Amino acid sequence: MLFGARSAIFAPVQNLGMIIIDEEHDLSYKSDMTPRYNAKDLAKYIAKQNNCPLVLGSATPDLETYYESENSKIKRYNLLYRANKSAMPDVEVIDLRTELASGNRSMISYRLNELMNQNLKNKKQTILFLNRRGYSTFVMCRDCGYVAKCKNCNISLTYHKFENKLRCHYCGYEQNVLKICPECGSDKVRYFGTGTQKLEEEVHNIFPNATTIRMDIDTVTKKNSHEEILNKFKNDNIDILIGTQMIVKGHHFPNVTLVGVISADGMLNIDDYRAPERAFQSLVQVARKSRKGK
Ligand SMILES: [Zn+2]
Ligand SMILES: [Zn+2]
């Protein structure tokens, strides 16, 4: 048996009897670098050539896979119980519009605040999921509407407070923070939207005694740091883990009994035709991180 990541699909296995792709919905099976390939498509081809079965595993299959299983193009086997037979956690949807109307200007709802407090008292851990890194997600002039954009990619730049820079999350372009609008010269340049840096700052303001750790591309730098952060969260019993998509993968945290998704509907407003599908997958996968029961 050969275990491997994406490129294992190229291994010259003799006598291939079966290919298994776990978490088949995962975007990383598609390579963004040369050689460009999708390991899943390749697996289908290789399985056919070798006349062997291909097993796709997922709790949140991608739409094509699900569609094919609905139409009997591929055979579906339903797993009726979770691995540890634990129940899925209860999910509550909080409408922040009504909270705003009653005076809550925070991105953390009253309900989430209450549950986080409970967890802190009971020494249970919490995960906060926000799929946008940086501090503010866009910079705009209040007078003329100018939005700071990347000169290479034409997408809006994200403000990173700790580095005090504006950054393009696509190509990595970086520029100094704007104080004066380059279009109209106004000094009413303001910062909007919330990223993980700002969320962490807010959590510190609301819960000054809580310990936190943040995981996004900005904190994961050197090799294995991804593992280090998650191990630290688990072993040092840090109160709150704040992170992007990265926290969704792998790892089981027995002491996590609350997962808060911050501006969940924000995931729908990404210019990708798969945005609703990805949003659903992320929500289900992140909810599975929470153990039911206190
Ligand atoms: Zn302006
Ligand atoms: Zn760019």
Asked if the model's pLDDT at residue 292 lies above 70, the reply is no
- Cα(192) to ligand 1 centroid in Å equals 15
Percent of the residues in the chain that have a pLDDT greater than 90, as a whole number: 63
Domain ranges in the chain are 6-70, 96-133+194-287, 138-192
Q: Mean pLDDT over residues 194-210, rounded?
A: 95
Using pLDDT thresholds of 50, 70 and 90, give the confidence band for residue 274. confident
* pLDDT of amino acid 174: 95
Tell me: the pLDDT tens digits for 25-36?
Answer: 988 899 988 889
For the CA of 172, the nearest ligand = 2
CATH value of 96-133+194-287 in 3.40.50.720, 3.60.20.40, 3.30.70.3270, 3.40.50.300: 3.40.50.300
CA 169 – CA 152 distance, rounded (Å): 11
Q: Is 46 helix (H, G, I), strand (E, B) or coil?
A: helix
For the CA of 171, the nearest ligand = 2
CA distance readout (Å), 169 to 61, 140, 157, 246, 275: 27, 17, 7, 15, 17
Q: Which residue has the higher pLDDT, 272 or 210?
A: 210
Burial class (CB in 10 A: 0-12, 13-18, 19+), 209: exposed
Tell me: the pLDDT tens digits for 216-270?
Answer: 988 887 665 888 899 999 999 999 999 998 888 767 888 999 999 998 988 887 7
CA 167 – CA 173 distance, rounded (Å): 6
